[in-house]
């Protein structure tokens, strides 16, 4: 399972790294990014929570 953030849609609210810091982080441009790693089994629920919580639906977890 991997995560993807659409940086064109992201508004930089910072919610995803607050929910799942193992997978998401904020970059210098103020937008979120998914770290280029496979999501560990123990982080899948948090990553999906971050996806569901994104106010602009910029996150895709699959």
Domain spans, the chain = 3-61
What's the confidence (pLDDT) of residue 31?
A: 98
pLDDT tens for 11-58 read 999 999 999 999 999 999 999 999 977 899 999 999 999 999 999 999
Listed as own residue / partner, the contacts of 22-25 with beta carbons closer than 8 Å and 24 or more positions apart are 22/46, 23/47, 23/50, 24/50, 24/59
Question: What's the pTM value of the predicted model, to 2 decimals?
Answer: 0.93
Q: What CATH number does the domain located at 3-61 have?
A: 3.30.70.20
């Amino acid at each position: 399972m991997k995560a993807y953030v659409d940086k064109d849609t992201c508004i930089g609210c910072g919610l995803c790294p607050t929910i799942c810091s193992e997978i998401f982080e904020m970059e210098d441009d103020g937008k979120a990014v998914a770290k280029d790693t496979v999501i560990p089994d123990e982080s899948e629920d948090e990553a999906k929570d971050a996806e569901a919580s994104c106010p602009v639906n910029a996150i895709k977890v699959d």
